[in-house]
Structure 1
Amino acid sequence: MPSSPNSPSSDDNTSEVGRLKRQVVALQDELEEARGSRTKRSETPVTRGRGIRRLITLFESLDGLIAEADTRILAEKDGVVRFRDQSELKRNADRTFESYELLLSLVPPFKTLIQTDADEDTFRQYTASLQKGANDARSDDVRRIKEEIAVWLNHNNPTATPLSPKSRDNRGLQNDVTGRLLCPIEHKWDDEKNRADMQNAVIDISQDFFITCLYKKGTADPSDVENGFLRSVLLLKTFCAVFTSPTSSEDLEEPEDDVPARKKRKTSSQKKATKTNVAGLLRMEGKVTPRAIAYAAVLLVFNLTDATQWTETYNGFNFRAFYNFIVDFFEDTPGAAAQRRANMLLTWWNSQVFQDQHAPTSSGLKASQDKLLAQRLQREQDN
């Protein structure tokens, strides 16, 4: 039946559907806030996107995550086996799909748009805003850590030529301080010939991800690469500067295996910060994640180089591969024993970063509880 002159056109209907779907998303946000399940602040797609690089994926685009999810759904529907012996390709696809699932969890309105089959324009606008927030946060963090590293290293190396907080120009392998930190544990920085060969690219170190700056006290045994890996104070400082606040990294010192790295405050009169930090805004709930560690590791290593701008590959070093390597160190272990070691490392990270939330039960508390219980049981018997 032909439409009357006053009946809505197809374009009008599409526009109205899009408006109603956006309204659904807005109402869901209001409901979450009323239930206390989100922080009481105005959140936009851009602000929601700021956690994507930090917790989900540092390099993948949202379009890439969506494409992998669509491909996987279609393959499963058609009974197609995508991978057989291509283990690396399969792991890349699995990692991407895991990022997609994390995205649905981190950004509930995005999941709503997926489930309600929003019109393409609405969906594109929303994902573009998420992508902008993700990249803006990464840019902010790269700049912040560039400045913080200069402060930390200048303080620890007072006799060396000071690093500029505003530029990475005098960093990299040509600088003795940053070069030492960028040196793989397989090589000896103090050996003059070794050092010169690395600086002149005679020795290619771009494929080695076991780097001195990631190890506890900057020392390691190449025959036991896991020992001390991802336990350096510089990595802890980088993580805290991003997720808990720059000031929270100031009282960190070189950690021992079972000793918190955070020094005790000398005075109890110091006020605690009332502003919610990034970890709180992202609802990390006192738990460090593998992808957050990988994010901090890339920020640290990148800002030790003399790269002039953010890039995925610099001097042959592939930061995307480096990021994926650390994620897989935790998430793609070869067996139960390796998974236990990875879990122990995460537990250690939790105790270092969120010390107050993971403090062990004191022996005094246990002793008092036992004494009280014994007396109560005795009185029960007496009565």
Structure 2
Amino acid sequence: MQTQEEDHLKRKRNHGDGDEKQSGVRLGRGIRKVVDLYTNVDQLVHAADQYDANNDEQNEDDRVTEGQLAALVQDRHEHKRAKASVAVLPKLIPNFWAFIDNAGTLPDDLIKWYSELQRGANDARSDDVNRLKSAVAQWLNSEFSPPPNPLLSSDDRLHRGIQHDLVRAKIRNFEEGYELGTSARCLYQDYRGNPLDLEDGFLRSPLLVKTYLHIFTSPTSAKDVKAQRDDATGEEDLDSIAPPATYRRTLKTGCARKHIRKDVASTLNMGNKVTSRSIAYAAVQLLFALSSAPQWTTAHQGLDFRECYYYIVDFFDDVDDDPESAKHVQNLLKWWNKQIFPAAAPSGAIGTSKTRQKLAAQCAARKNTAPA
């Protein structure tokens, strides 16, 4: 027999059930983009709980073998990464923890809710896959000199992957043969890279910037970045890079800018900041668009998309004990923010505040110097 509280909760859930279901699917659309591309929400929450439960424990059992210890370290690392991913969820999903921790939330309702979120997440990922299949082909066909031969089809993945010379050059590793890996050239500045310094130019690819803009701002803004550039710039020239033309126009309008429609980044409450997970998502989407994989998969023709995704996330986030690496990724994120959100700083409000302060100071100075 149901209690009065359970009956109230059931009626509340049933009221407008269609709207809530649609909302769950809609709210989940950002999960793959900025939370985790491969791990499901319920698995992330469970892993984060495990990290909290084991955070203060030290395993010093002499009976633990070296292999077991390595596995424990890897598990803890993955749990820590999951906790960081889970921390993003409340930005996307209002009252996320309130729903999970509510004693009145029935297990079946929680499973259903997770399923709706996951459906929205996977649907949005599939939408990006389909759009980028066409967009990346157009970029390579129209912006590279010489263009691919044969030209890439926008409708299918024929001739993509290592079968195509130009695409192969963009995704091959530095090793002999065609072994692919996380140092894929399409992620590097000018698609070169230095095998002796794999951080040099890593994740500064114009194609990657175009892909990110296409996903998180708009396809139009992506057109303002040339896929093949002659003015590629390193960290030392960070401040001299001009933002895409679309954003240069925005900078001129300042606080008078009017939003007609929110872009994906705004909808996901990214706060005009590029994140490690959003870069990793764009990178994998680019790699997948360049591949001949017939459908979404974790690996294809020697390229492990899942490994690449988590490699990039860790590249940014796993720098706690390495000040030099931390400085490098901070500069890289600064570079990315300038490419994607150049209008975010300085804001018009700050400029107005400083102007008022200056005017007030000038008025006060005139009063003090005025004749009696």
| TM-score, scaled to structure 2 | 0.80
| Letter paired with 2:25 | V
Q: 2: distance between equivalents of 1:14 and 1:121?
A: 17
Residue 116 (structure 2) aligned to one of 119, 126, 129:
129
Residue 303 (structure 1) aligned to one of 279, 286, 289:
289
Alignment map for 1:322-341 (pairs within 5 Å): 322-333=308-319, 334-341=321-328
CA contact (8 A) 2:169 2:185 kept: yes
Does residue 272 of structure 2 align to residue 286 of structure 1?
yes
Does residue 221 of structure 2 align to residue 248 of structure 1?
yes
Equivalent position of 1:57 in the other structure: 36
CA-to-aligned-CA distance 1:81-122 (integer Å, 9 cap, x gap): 599654333211211122222224421233121121311111
Segments of 5+ residues of structure 2 without an aligned counterpart are 61-67
Does the C-alpha gap of structure 1 residues 110 and 214 become closer, same or farther in structure 2, counting only changes over 3 Å?
A: same
Deviation of 1:251 after TM superposition, in Å, equals 0.7
Deviation of 1:147 after TM superposition, in Å, equals 1.0
Secondary structure of residue in 1 paired with 2:141:
helix
CA contact (8 A) 2:186 2:208 kept: yes
Residue 242 (structure 2) aligned to one of 260, 266, 273:
260
Alignment map for 1:200-239 (pairs within 5 Å): 205-206=179-180, 208-239=181-212
| Letter paired with 1:339 | A
Does the C-alpha gap of structure 1 residues 25 and 381 become closer, same or farther in structure 2, counting only changes over 3 Å?
A: farther
Kindly report the root-mean-square deviation, in angstroms, between the aligned alpha carbons of the 2 structures: 3.7
The worse-fitting range, judged by mean Cα deviation, of 170-179 and 217-226 is: 217-226
Residue 46 (structure 1) aligned to one of 8, 19, 25:
25
Equivalent position of 2:64 in the other structure: none
CA contact (8 A) 2:161 2:167 kept: yes
Equivalent position of 1:143 in the other structure: 130
Does residue 153 of structure 2 align to residue 164 of structure 1?
yes
CA contact (8 A) 2:91 2:268 kept: no
Residues paired across the two proteins, number = 342
Equivalent position of 1:190 in the other structure: none
Deviation of 1:17 after TM superposition, in Å, equals 5.3
Equivalent position of 2:261 in the other structure: 275
Secondary structure of residue in 2 paired with 1:276:
coil
Secondary structure of residue in 1 paired with 2:260:
coil
Does the C-alpha gap of structure 1 residues 174 and 20 become closer, same or farther in structure 2, counting only changes over 3 Å?
A: same
CA-to-aligned-CA distance 1:207-260 (integer Å, 9 cap, x gap): x31121111111222222212111111001111111101111011134533313
Does residue 185 of structure 2 align to residue 180 of structure 1?
no
Equivalent position of 1:4 in the other structure: none
Secondary structure of residue in 1 paired with 2:195:
coil
CA contact (8 A) 2:29 2:123 kept: yes
CA contact (8 A) 2:148 2:166 kept: no
Q: 2: distance between equivalents of 1:180 and 1:121?
A: 49
| Letter paired with 1:218 | Y
Q: 2: distance between equivalents of 1:115 and 1:265?
A: 42
Segments of 5+ residues of structure 1 without an aligned counterpart are 1-8, 31-41, 188-193, 199-204
Q: 2: distance between equivalents of 1:283 and 1:266?
A: 22
CA contact (8 A) 1:245 1:277 kept: yes
Does residue 338 of structure 2 align to residue 351 of structure 1?
yes
| TM-score, scaled to structure 1 | 0.78
Does the C-alpha gap of structure 1 residues 60 and 264 become closer, same or farther in structure 2, counting only changes over 3 Å?
A: closer
CA contact (8 A) 2:247 2:343 kept: no
CA contact (8 A) 2:45 2:82 kept: no
| Letter paired with 1:288 | V
Alignment map for 1:78-89 (pairs within 5 Å): 86-89=72-75
Q: 1: distance between equivalents of 2:15 and 2:88?
A: 22
CA contact (8 A) 1:243 1:277 kept: yes
Q: 2: distance between equivalents of 1:265 and 1:76?
A: 44
Does the C-alpha gap of structure 1 residues 381 and 224 become closer, same or farther in structure 2, counting only changes over 3 Å?
A: farther
CA-to-aligned-CA distance 1:259-294 (integer Å, 9 cap, x gap): 134136898999987221111111111111110000
CA-to-aligned-CA distance 1:124-164 (integer Å, 9 cap, x gap): 11111001001101111111111110110010244632111
Q: 1: distance between equivalents of 2:86 and 2:293?
A: 30
Equivalent position of 2:63 in the other structure: none
Identity of aligned residues (%): 34
Does residue 303 of structure 2 align to residue 317 of structure 1?
yes
| Letter paired with 2:45 | I
